[in-house]
Amino acid sequence: MRRFIVDTDTASDDAAALMIAALSEEIDLLGVTIVAGNVGLKQATDNALMTLEVCGSDAPVYLGAKRPLFRERHETISVHGKDGMGDCDIIHPKRSPEEKRAVEFILEQVERYPNEVELVVLGPATNIALAILTDREIMSKVKHIWSMGTPGFGFGNATPVSEFNVFIDAEAYALMLDLEIPVTIAGFDLCAGNIGLDRYELSYLAHGSKPAQFLEQATSKLLQFNLDTRGVHMVDLPDAIAMAAAVWPEFVQDKVACHCHCCTEPGHAYGQVIFYQKGRTYEAMPEISRFNAQVIKKVDEKLFTERFMDLLMEEGGKEA
């Protein structure tokens, strides 16, 4: 069993990612830590609790950062709806979050399971940065960080050069990149293709298991956003792609070692992550000291859809 902690700002694509972790038999979901991002902390917490509930998971949930390390919290134009989950009045969790805070939980679990815990970071990296600032030595024993972040080798969605999760707290992302452990980045470019859920998959989910129906409703505002802005009948799920890369290694078809530099200076480049790729030479950096992340270049879109739909359509999900 692989030991996962998922750090999330729970909106609909985070919920899709949480479902993969919660419904995969090979994953021991130690807990879910919450960070403000798509929506505020309370809403993100309730969204995570409800998602776990419909999947039959009793994984504990922990409150984390309400705002970035230094900047004021950015009021987002949430493409997922005001509640982050399609505004369908489907968020009524029975459980509450734990008393313990997110950073304490992360450090406690990594200390308990040195070099075994994998962190899947699906929102701003504030909780991870706070854990590093609190005890870098313990955090150096994290087995792997899987990050949904950066535009990858495409364009940003928060600015032309910055992706939302990094843009909200670039200083935190820079701290995370500076931790000398294995990091894999799934950029926003990976969901630019046909990967995601189209009209047929969405209508199939609408008549499927509890988790399937829940996700179809949760992504309804995202669908409307894509129809209104891009004229496409589909939902893109960047967080689910990052989780798929973590859970199903064969999903990743190509990746490249990079020295990733996260720009934290105020201005138009804030939140840009510059990739100095291994095997290339750069005037600005003739000697690359360390390749601090693997950046995914290509994924198996067909495998994602098959595995994801199979997982969701199994009746009811795992027994709690």
Residues with a known catalytic role: 9
Q: Pairing between strand 197-198 and 273-277? A: unpaired
Lay out the site mask for ligand RIB across 190-209 (x = CB under 6 A, - = otherwise): --------------------
Stretch that binds Ca ion, among 67-75, 82-90, 91-99, 121-129 (CB under 5 A): 121-129
Q: Are 222 and 235 in contact (CB under 8 A)?
A: yes
Q: Give the number of other Cβ atoms within 10 Å of residue 1's Cβ.
A: 9
Residue with smaller CB distance to ligand RIB, 123 or 196? 123
Please report whether residue 189 would count as binding ligand RIB according to CB under 6 A. no
- Tell me the number of residues near Ca ion by CB under 5 A: 5
Residue 171 partner contact from ligand RIB, Ca ion, none using kind-dependent CB cut-offs of 5 to 8 Å: none
Binding ligand RIB by CB under 6 A: which of 105, 188, 214, 225? 188
Label the pairing between strands 293-299 and 252-262.
Answer: antiparallel
State the minimum distance, in angstroms, from the CB of residue 188 to ligand RIB: 5
- Smallest distance, ligand RIB to C-beta of residue 77, A: 12
Dihedral over Cα of 23, 244, 164, 99: its sign: positive
Q: Which of residues 122-141 bind Ca ion (CB under 5 A)?
A: 122-123
Considering only 49, 102, 122, 244, the residue that binds ligand RIB (CB under 6 A) is 122
Q: Per-residue DSSP letters for 99-138?
A: SSBHHHHHHHHHHHSTTTEEEEE-S-THHHHHHHHH-HHH
**Stretch 154-183 residues interacting with ligand RIB (CB under 6 A):** 157, 163-165
Tell me, residue by residue from 7 to 46, as one string, x for binding to ligand RIB by CB under 6 A and - for no binding: --x-x-xx----------------------xx--------
List the beta strands (DSSP E) in 181-251.
183-186, 197-198, 234-235
Interatomic CA distance for residues 112 and 106, integer angstroms: 10
Nearer to ligand RIB by Cβ, of 107 and 245: the residue is: 245
* C-alpha to C-alpha distance for 50 and 213, rounded to whole angstroms: 13
Instruction: Return the structure tokens found at 91.
Output: 């968020």
Residue 123 binds to ligand RIB (criterion: CB under 6 A):
yes
Which of Ca ion, ligand RIB, none does 163 bind, CB closer than 5 to 8 A by kind?
ligand RIB
Cα distances (Å, whole numbers) of residue 44 to 73, 88, 220, 265, 283: 14, 15, 17, 28, 44
Per CB under 5 A, which of residues 229..258 are in contact with Ca ion?
A: 239
DSSP label at residue 148? E
* Interface positions with ligand RIB (CB under 6 A): 9, 11, 13-14, 37-38, 122-123, 148, 157, 163-165, 188, 238-239
* Interface positions with Ca ion (CB under 5 A): 9, 14, 122-123, 239
